[in-house]
Amino acid sequence: MEICHRHQSSTAGLLSALRRLYLSLYNWTVFLGWFQVLRLALKTLSESGHQHVYNAVERPLLLAQSAAVLEIVHGLVGLVRSPVTATLPQIGSRLYLTWGILWSFPETRSHMLVCSLVISWSITEIIRYSFFGMKEALGFAPSWLLWLRYSTFILLYPTGITSEVGLIYIALPHMKNSEKYSIKMPNKWNFCFDYFYAAIVALGIYVPGSPYMYGYMLGQRKKALAKAKGE
């Protein structure tokens, strides 16, 4: 029995170490991706203007944002304790903006809102991934980084959401004219889908969804900072 217990303990310790190693590598890799996005965005903004920011950041933006899909997987398999119900809508909306709007409709890419979107996202993610990267690698994160992790969204979430809504709205006429991703009747599936109206529904979801997420994050902030003070 004692040998069996030791074996189980050793296996659990190994799995825990592998989990921490994987999550640490994941967080720092995505951190570097977002750092590259911010660096290129600021450099291009100062040298060439906002019209060229998207072209400069496209590749690292697509990679860094798409990597966030793994966070949903992490929640589903129990690697992290974050609820999938909170993670899914946030990541889903960002993937929609990244691939479904900016990548799909080039007409939106030169708008000033792309800058506010990219800068809001990248600063938020740089802080978030460095915070979790340090926690997984070292077992703790400095108090100033914890404060940034749970405070910068107060400003950056509204600027990011405003940019998202604005870019979807700007893309609407291009969706309607191009009919991209729409499925018309008749067809062999007997099914129709209009991307333009789906985007309008998405805009409608932002109305109740954004205040809910903001309130959820304020609640998380209160808990995290209270816990840090208690420690």
Would you name the residues annotated as active-site residues? Answer: 157, 164
Quote the CA–CA distance of 98 and 91 in Å, as a whole number.
10
The sign one gets for the Cα dihedral 148, 230, 83, 134 is positive
Yes or no: say if 96 and 139 are a contact pair by the CB < 8 Å rule.
no
Quote the CA–CA distance of 186 and 173 in Å, as a whole number.
24
State residue 150 phi and psi, 5-degree precision: -105, 15
Look up residue 69 and give its amino acid: V
Quote the CA–CA distance of 156 and 117 in Å, as a whole number.
9
Q: Which two tokens stand for residue 9?
A: 């303990």
Quote the CA–CA distance of 69 and 63 in Å, as a whole number.
11
Cβ of 6: how many Cβ atoms within 10 Å?
10
Quote the CA–CA distance of 173 and 129 in Å, as a whole number.
36
What 3-state DSSP class applies to 193?
A: strand
Quote the CA–CA distance of 116 and 135 in Å, as a whole number.
29
Quote the CA–CA distance of 213 and 172 in Å, as a whole number.
25
Q: Which two tokens stand for residue 123?
A: 């600063």
